[in-house]
Amino acid sequence: MEILNKKETVIITGGAGGIGSACAKILKKHKLIITDYSTQEVDKAVEKLTEEGYDALGIACDITKRKDVDKLMKFSMKQGNFGGLIHTAGVSGSGQSPKKVFEIDLVGTDIIIDAFHEVATKDSVLVLFSSIMGHTIPPNSEYDAALLNPQKENSFSTVAKFVNEDADVMYNFAKRGVLLLCKENAFRFGRKGARIVSVSPGVIMTPMGIKAAEEYPERMNKMKELTPLGRNGTPEDIAEVVKFLISNKAGFITGSDILIDGGIVTQLLKEG
């Protein structure tokens, strides 16, 4: 028996992206709200899903703007029977400034958590996206306090001291922040009977993963060699786990992270 009944609404941020699209594809039983940064991309994604028989609506939203996120939540609540939100929207360090990565990957996630908490009811579920790279950053009381409060004025500058102006390194810190926020929010979500979980993908062949493979071919080949399962992941590898996490089969899982990485984190941490 699934807790999310047939027409419960599920929001997918980054719904026009690689993992977001795969999540949409696997949730045919639900009413889908596809959201992404660009209206054009949202419209394209919704049109494709509708042609394929999905019950999908779209609305553009910049997840770094609370006003946009509130509009998204209001729009979604109007569809009735709210079930969950799969927050895949994010950027890698490539071509971005550390500030932009911090804003999109961490501040955006914190905004989504706050907005979701306001509407969360019993059995609703929020799935966040961290990364294997978040697991490579060790605990530290100074930056962890900032990562846990990304919307505070000095948080960016506190974390920036540790990243040497490198947006890729900021990505790793922001994704550690997602892991911390997931744990930190479990209690207040639990009081409402709602769950919050995160997933940490390994190297996944989406536009983001393909770009990384093109930019850093050596590093990416080494990552594949190091992966115990000997291959990169597919968006569908991630979507299957997300589908499980939003179902009542995962009804006792909250405040924790699931690595979906072919085992590579074990090797990365060994290498140091």
User: Can you give the binding site for ligand NAD, defined by CB under 6 A?
Assistant: 13-14, 16-20, 36-37, 61-64, 88-91, 104, 108, 129, 131, 201, 203-204, 206-209
| 3-state SS class at 19 | helix
Catalytic residue among 54, 143, 171, 216: 171
Give the residue among 173, 171, 156, 73 at the shortest CA–CA distance from 114. Answer: 73
CB of 7 to ligand NAD, least distance (A): 25
The residue sitting closest to ligand NAD, measured at its beta carbon, is 17
CB of 239 to ligand NAD, least distance (A): 10
Nearer to ligand NAD, 89 or 245 (CB): 89
Nearer to ligand NAD, 14 or 177 (CB): 14
Nearer to ligand NAD, 94 or 192 (CB): 94
CB of 145 to ligand NAD, least distance (A): 23
The order of strands in the sheet holding 9-13 is 55-58, 31-35, 9-13, 82-87, 125-129, 195-201, 257-260
State how far the alpha carbon of 72 is from the alpha carbons of 35, 55, 67, 83, 148, in Å: 8, 17, 9, 14, 24
Nearer to ligand NAD, 18 or 150 (CB): 18
Q: Give catalytic status of residue 171 as yes or no.
A: yes
Beta strands in the chain (DSSP E): 9-13, 31-35, 55-58, 82-87, 125-129, 195-201, 257-260
| Helix pair 18-25, 235-245: axis angle to 10 deg | 50
CB of 26 to ligand NAD, least distance (A): 14
CB of 36 to ligand NAD, least distance (A): 5
Are the beta carbons of 33 and 76 closer than 8 angstroms?
A: yes
Nearer to ligand NAD, 146 or 260 (CB): 260
DSSP 98-142: HHHHIIIIIIHHHHHHHHHHHH--TT-EEEEE--GGGGGSPP-HH
Nearer to ligand NAD, 60 or 146 (CB): 60
CB of 201 to ligand NAD, least distance (A): 4
Are the beta carbons of 155 and 85 closer than 8 angstroms?
A: no
Are the beta carbons of 197 and 256 closer than 8 angstroms?
A: yes
Contacts of 217 (CB under 8 A, 6+ apart): none
Beta strands 125-129 and 31-35 are: unpaired
Residues labelled as active-site residues: 171
